[in-house]
Structure 1
Amino acid sequence: MRNRTMLGMVEDIRREADGEAGGVNCGAGQLPLRSEVEDRYKWRLEDIYPDEDCWEADAKQVLEDVRKLASLKGRLTASAATLLEGLKLQDQVNERLSRLFVYAKMRRDEDNANPKYQALTDRATSIAVQVDSEKAFVVPEILATPEETLRAYVEQEPGLALYRFYLEQLIRQKPHVLSAEQEQLLAGTGEMASAPSHIFSMFNDADIQFPVIEDESGKPVQLTHGRYMQMLQSRDRRVRREAFEGVLETYRKNRNTLAAIYSASVKKDLFYAQVRRYPGALEAALDEDDVPVAVYDNLIAAVRESLPALHKYLALRKRVLGLDELHMYDLYTPLVPDLDVKIPYDQAVETVKEAIRPLGEEYQRVAAEGLASGWVDVFETRGKTSGAYSWATYGVHPYILLNHQDTLNDMFTLAHELGHAMHYYYSMNAQPFVYANYTIFVAEVASTCNEALLTHHLLETTDDPKMRAYLINHHLETLRGTLFRQTMFAEFEKLVHRHAQEGGALTPEWLCETYYQLVSDYFSAECTVDRPIEMEWARIPHFYSAFYVYKYATGISAATALSQKILREGEPAVEAYLSFLKGGASDYPIPLLRRAGVDMESPEPVRETLRLFTRLVDDLAALLQA
């Protein structure tokens, strides 16, 4: 872990899919106000701060504590005792700052148009930048100390044993850490660096207005982020097409602004990579997890090699839907025409609780208690952040944001986010603060493992051929959306950053043409690639956290392997898996996963998941006799 800013750490939200998860279904009317939703369907942020006076007290305290830390500047490593004092103070500052930021940001996520919480989030961001600047000397001073001295300190002072791995991480990344003065200056850029993501969020969650279209019965419906996926799943092709065109045309009208925002984000990535002496932004992003670039490249290569399996599935989809041409807006509608699955949230909770039974009694009990006691914010309301995520701050239970629409997909989203939340729970309860926040590379393993267990449970509890076909189709869609689609996104990010690094301009035309060509590479063998899809890059929030999305693809591959081990081997595999969840960030992610039973340096987990995709296509074809 190099001298990563606290702002960067606390903004690491687990947003899912592409912000495509749904919300409460309000028909043709406007979305409800938050006050109109029952309290039992809202998260309980009061568990972080009972009131905002407590938030203000912590804001004051964190600045006092960071000044104490700053007083050690120039003598931090003068002795083992001083080093221990400094590291403890740093943890104290970071823990309190995390609470401040998580609370403010989640309050804003309840209603992005609320100026009170816009202001509170801005204050938290400003405090984070100030704190990062004040403590920027810590890592450079540690790394200016001879390695043998640091190792001797760890042996002399028992309290420093806790920080052994932390110090080893710093030493590994020593070539990328600057002088104390340079680090302080760099830390001061944090608020500016977060501007592209913040501006995009304000545009995408608060300002953007999609058109009104007619639903299946001819009633006018206002398109929203939550309703978009619902409309793409409609059995009425006109509704699907109008939703697809309506949303992407809205982005197209703002293409110059959106290209400028994204270009600024990419330039920020390149700036930090250059300043920290990395060959490029990709290497910089992967280095913190000690992940070789070959893992990223091998993923893209393996998926490219397996595109015939995707094309086989698309051909099946075209035949089952009875279409002469398959279009991009035909990719999400269920393939089982006579099955109308509606799953209210409370029913989804009960089903997910049963599905995770293979993970053991304790896991099931903790999850059930959490779902019933203020962990989850369930329904879409006016101004609420779209999509879904799980987040946590040390010393408080985890939280889950949903936008539930009573669909099967939303039940899987619940299982997914619960996996994240339980990973937080086990990590925070087993690890000290310094190692409690698991890395992004492993973030998608627990979530997609839960999804795999839910699929298994549902298939085990039904003999209905239509339901089985529906579930297999859903599993295929999960793999298509997570392994193929997220890898396509990862390839897009690599192309964009390389183009910018070589001096190319990220114009709307270049971005659109590059994205369109990629979609064509992946889909055109069996699908008409409609021109509006070229604007899809503009609606993906993940692109503002560079080189994040590939971890969905590696995560589902690891989760597929681990879930099969759990179902096949039982308690020994569960014990190894829970040990992985408890590991937090106490080791690099690849060794943590290896101890759980999967080796992500090998391409085999990805290839095995791709082979599973092919088998599922055959199973679905047999069930549908297509």
Structure 2
Amino acid sequence: MNKSKTLPKRSEVPAEHKWRLEDIYPTDAAWEEDLQKAKKLAEEIATKKGTLGQSSKHLHEALTLQDELLQTLDQVYVYARMRRDEDNANSKYQGLTDRATALSTQAYGAISYIQPEILAIPTDTLKQWIQQDEGLAHYRIMLDEITRFKPHTLSAEEEALLANMSEVASAPSKIFGMLNNADLKFPMITDENGEEVELTKGRYTHFMESKDRRVRKEAFEALYSTYGKFRNTIAASLTSSVKADVFYARTRKYPSALYSALFADNVDISVYDNLIATIREHLPLMHRYISLRKKALGVDELHMYDLYVPIVPEVDMKIPYDQAVQTIKEALHPLGEDYGKVLEEGFTGGWIDVHENEGKTSGAYSWGAYTTHPFVLMNYQDNVNNMFTLAHEMGHALHSYYSNKNQPYTYADYKIFVAEVASTVNEALLMNHLLETTNDKHQRMYLINYYLEQFRGTVFRQTMFAEFEKIVHAKEEAGEPLTADSLNEIYRELNVAYHGPEMVIDKEIELEWERIPHFYRHFYVYKYATGFSAATSLSKQILEEGQPAVERYLQFLKGGSSDFPLNLLKNAGVDMTSPEPIREALAVFKALIEELEQLMGQ
């Protein structure tokens, strides 16, 4: 790769480090053909409107046509967007993406009648059709899922009214987004070098990891003093969002907003409650980690601005891409020969776009179309974090690969509830491999601290967020007022409980709820904690049981959305209706704390 300070142009990146989008379309002309095909399919499916309830044949034809349209549309959009992601300055692929986006809007408008017409068919009639029509039987799971929502679906006129209200209901999130991302300006602070720099949200993360405690404290106070000036405005936006959640739940006849949010994944409220109760039960472990952090930093008082600074001296672990690939392959060896073959194909078969180049989309993701292998975008840097990111994205990629290979298009796309499981299993196995193979004490300490921070941020912190959401929605449903003061009080009490007696709960932290965008996507964050716990339990089973656990796990990867997420996980060996997987994950957390205490001589 180009070692100069300037980024290489796309044309300068070696072919072996680029993904091979020709596997989707060999030429842009072939893409154009499919675009025109999708247009015709959208026009054709629109002509079926009003006919679905006439016979099983009409319904089957419409659903088959819908699959063909959406599959073609996915491929068209994925190719255009990933071509643009290679170099966002490329006007040709900007244009292709815009055309694919416009067609998507047109296509989804053309099929919008399908679900309401299915819901209008009497349930007994639909069951009879599924039994009699072999082709329609293929759609039984999908049709069952649609009819599951029937008790919470209103009349066509009422549904239209609610649809027209969606823009108004999303206003609190939009208002918060504009304030948070565009209008909020933070003051200047003095950095480690004594220079005046403007605080930004991006720089805040960097400052929170600074070895200079003065810098951490100054950035912390500057950030929250700014948010504090808008506490009443942001409280109004958040409480309005909560009111909208409650309104929609009541209008659709759900028992609560929480029940409504979990209904889509067919997840019982007990799963949510189990998570909070089990984490609460194990908060002494979090407090023990906080105590270890305090001792390691050698401070008389541990403040909230001391939570992100590394407690282990930095270790120079330079890991070039080729070394990361080899290490990941070795780490994932326990997943068996078949998984290993697919993983090798991913690393060598044009799946991955490895390095940063001029104009390339930042970050990392896994994506693709049903008819081709998955693709992974990276902007690889030679460090531990990027190696874990690569393992993570390949977990997503192989989940998609197995689902696509073993499920029809209708059921290939897995649900968000399980989306982070495969990626986190890969990370857990990689961490286990690194800890097993390193002999360097400081590297081992660094890795353990890295893993502990994942637990703290993904399991404990996200569960605290989930509990905050539950409390504020319950208060709204009970008719209790939500104000800036009451939100501050709720959030402060949670921080006291979660961080324990050795943490100074600075007054500023009671304002943190103001800056969490996920609170505008109600009851979503708990999935991070459940997914991490499930993955930790699965990786432990794979390492301890071997082949039987691997077989169960591979069946999970192949499942797509052919069953509800909880059932897929249960068949893999993890029952998320039970607190056991969370307890198993926290047992790993405890063992890591104990080892780090020993290594640090605490």
Would you say same fold, with TM above 0.5? yes
Match of 1:419 in 2: 395
- How many Å separate the matches in 2 of 1:262 and 1:57? 46
Match of 1:370 in 2: 346
Contact 1:113 1:206 (8 Å CA) reproduced: no
Query: Are residues 1:279 and 2:259 paired?
Result: no
AA of the residue aligned to 2:491: Y
AA of the residue aligned to 1:325: E
- How many Å separate the matches in 2 of 1:33 and 1:257? 45
Decide which moves more: 551-560 or 123-132.
123-132
SS at 2:139 equivalent: helix
1:301 aligns with one of 263, 274, 277: 277
Query: Are residues 1:599 and 2:599 paired?
Result: no
AA of the residue aligned to 1:409: N
Match of 2:134 in 1: 158
1:54-73 to structure 2, matched below 5 A, reads: 62=38, 64-73=40-49
Deviation readout 1:549-595 (Å, 9 max, x if unpaired): 11121112211221111112222221211110010100011111111
Structure 1, unaligned stretches of length 5 or more? Answer: 1-24
SS at 1:350 equivalent: helix
Structure 2, unaligned stretches of length 5 or more? Answer: none
AA of the residue aligned to 1:559: A
Decide which moves more: 511-520 or 112-121.
112-121
1:303-322 to structure 2, matched below 5 A, reads: 303-322=279-298
Query: Are residues 1:521 and 2:492 paired?
Result: no
2:145 aligns with one of 140, 159, 169: 169
- Supply the RMSD in Å over aligned alpha carbons: 4.1
Contact 1:126 1:191 (8 Å CA) reproduced: no
User: Deviation of residue 258 (structure 1)?
Assistant: 5.4
Work out the number of aligned pairs and report it: 598
Query: Are residues 1:497 and 2:441 paired?
Result: no
User: Deviation of residue 233 (structure 1)?
Assistant: 3.2
User: Deviation of residue 91 (structure 1)?
Assistant: 2.0
AA of the residue aligned to 2:397: A
- How many Å separate the matches in 2 of 1:33 and 1:206? 31
Query: Are residues 1:80 and 2:80 paired?
Result: no
Contact 1:133 1:185 (8 Å CA) reproduced: no
Deviation readout 1:493-513 (Å, 9 max, x if unpaired): 223333444566766555444
User: Deviation of residue 251 (structure 1)?
Assistant: 5.2
AA of the residue aligned to 2:558: K
User: Deviation of residue 459 (structure 1)?
Assistant: 0.9
- How many Å separate the matches in 2 of 1:49 and 1:353? 29
SS at 2:504 equivalent: coil
Match of 1:21 in 2: none
AA of the residue aligned to 1:491: E
SS at 2:493 equivalent: helix
Query: Are residues 1:443 and 2:413 paired?
Result: no
Query: Are residues 1:467 and 2:443 paired?
Result: yes
SS at 2:138 equivalent: helix
Query: Are residues 1:543 and 2:519 paired?
Result: yes
AA of the residue aligned to 1:299: L
The structure-2 alpha-carbon separation of the partners of 1:339 and 1:288, relative to structure 1 and needing over 3 Å to count, comes to same
Decide which moves more: 134-143 or 589-598.
134-143
The structure-2 alpha-carbon separation of the partners of 1:37 and 1:451, relative to structure 1 and needing over 3 Å to count, comes to farther
- How many Å separate the matches in 1 of 2:592 and 2:396? 26
1:113-124 to structure 2, matched below 5 A, reads: none
Percent identity of paired positions between Structure 1 and Structure 2: 55
Higher-RCO chain (CA-CA 8 Å, sequence separation at least 6): 1
1:477 aligns with one of 453, 461, 469: 453
AA of the residue aligned to 2:501: A
AA of the residue aligned to 1:460: E
The structure-2 alpha-carbon separation of the partners of 1:176 and 1:450, relative to structure 1 and needing over 3 Å to count, comes to same
- How many Å separate the matches in 2 of 1:85 and 1:597? 38
Decide which moves more: 53-62 or 278-287.
53-62
Contact 2:8 2:357 (8 Å CA) reproduced: no
The structure-2 alpha-carbon separation of the partners of 1:601 and 1:543, relative to structure 1 and needing over 3 Å to count, comes to same
The structure-2 alpha-carbon separation of the partners of 1:180 and 1:338, relative to structure 1 and needing over 3 Å to count, comes to closer
User: Deviation of residue 395 (structure 1)?
Assistant: 2.6
Match of 1:10 in 2: none
AA of the residue aligned to 2:151: P
- How many Å separate the matches in 2 of 1:570 and 1:477? 28
Query: Are residues 1:554 and 2:545 paired?
Result: no
